[in-house]
Amino acid sequence: MSGRPSKANKDTFEKILSDMCRGVSLSRAARHAGLSEPSIHAYRNKSIAAEKAGDKPPEYFFAWLDDEPSYFHKHLDAARAIAISSIDGAVIESALVPQMVVQRNMQTGEPFYEADPLIAAHARDLDDDMWDIMYAPRKRSDHFKRDENGALIPVVKEVRDTKLLIKAAESLLASVYGQRIQHSVAVGGVLRVTQEMHEQHRIINGEFKEALPAPTNVLAVGEKYKDAKAWEETYGGKRLVDAVLFFDEEGNLEPPLATIAIAQGSSIDKAYIDAGIEHNAVPPQELIAQGYQNSWLLKLVPP
């Protein structure tokens, strides 16, 4: 009793593999061969099982592209690698080879045409009689070049896809052009409040007196919160605290701690700049990249 031949055979699989090498998706390649994508995955699993068992059935173990036979699932991997290599080559070519783009009037969409410098000069300088002798019945406004068929020649310009070129360089030459953002600054301004600090000012004998020496370079001291939930409810995420300026007895602005980072362009930054005080100013975009969410940070980012 004979039935229909199985579709799991070398000829069917070779059609699929050839389509995949040309960039056809696995699902489309399967349909072209009269199969479904799930069936291809099933055949792939059977091929893997055959290799593990040490079997070499001809429908799953055959030569393709070279004389060395191998399993169907390995041929699938090779076909995919070839397709990816083709895409890779196309991207590199698109990035490096300039495209010839016709230059057009932005308002009308009409192309610009190449002018003939000599005819253009004659159109400007010759009198009517001499123009007619040399160019009649051409009009003076017609000073454009033409090809061998008499057609106007559009102005073209070599254009490179610089964005694609940058992306290709970042991917293929990552060690040189890859995006490597490193932050070595300590973003400060947040101070853990201890009981000792809360008690640094006390009422003694009816008078407000200082029990502990006041810090001179602390940008801000936050309110003491019971737990992390209370902090999140107040601030709603990772935020920088609002800074406070401190002055000495003579009214001179005191410098901040060297480890504290100040948002570049902020009022605090400007105050230290005006006072000629060296300090650590961090671009706001770097602070945002580190997860800080103060709304005023966005306003400091340069356009």
Q: What Cα–Cα distance (Å) separates residue 257 from each residue in 123, 217, 265, 285, 297?
A: 75, 6, 18, 22, 21
Q: Which residues of 241-256 are buried (b: 16+ CB within 10 A; e: fewer)?
A: eebeeeeeeeeeeeeb
Cβ pair 143, 119 in contact under 8 A:
yes
Q: Percent of the chain beyond pLDDT 70?
A: 69
Segment among 10-24, 163-177, 185-199, 229-243 with least mean pLDDT: 185-199
pLDDT single digits (tens) 34-89: 898 899 999 999 999 999 999 999 989 999 887 789 999 999 988 888 887 777 77
Is residue 235 exposed (0-12), middle (13-18) or buried (19+ Cβ within 10 Å)?
middle
Which of the four pLDDT bands, split at 50, 70 and 90, describes residue 230?
low
Q: Is pLDDT of 229 > 70?
A: no
243: which 2 tokens?
């800074």
Interatomic CA distance for residues 194 and 208, integer angstroms:
20
E strand or H helix that includes residue 121: helix 117-125
Q: Is pLDDT of 245 > 70?
A: yes
Q: Which residue has the higher pLDDT, 233 or 80?
A: 80
Report, as an integer, the average pLDDT of 263-279.
Answer: 85
Q: Domain segments of the chain: what residues?
A: 10-96, 100-159, 195-300
Cβ pair 208, 201 in contact under 8 A:
yes
Report, as an integer, the average pLDDT of 28-34.
Answer: 89
Interatomic CA distance for residues 220 and 214, integer angstroms:
12
pLDDT single digits (tens) 99-147: 788 888 888 888 899 989 998 899 889 999 999 899 888 888 888 998 9
Q: Is pLDDT of 189 > 50?
A: no
Interatomic CA distance for residues 268 and 196, integer angstroms:
27
Interatomic CA distance for residues 211 and 89, integer angstroms:
73
Q: Which residues of 139-163 are buried (b: 16+ CB within 10 A; e: fewer)?
A: eeeebbeeeeeeeeeeeeeeeebee
Model confidence, pTM: 0.38
Cβ pair 300, 266 in contact under 8 A:
yes
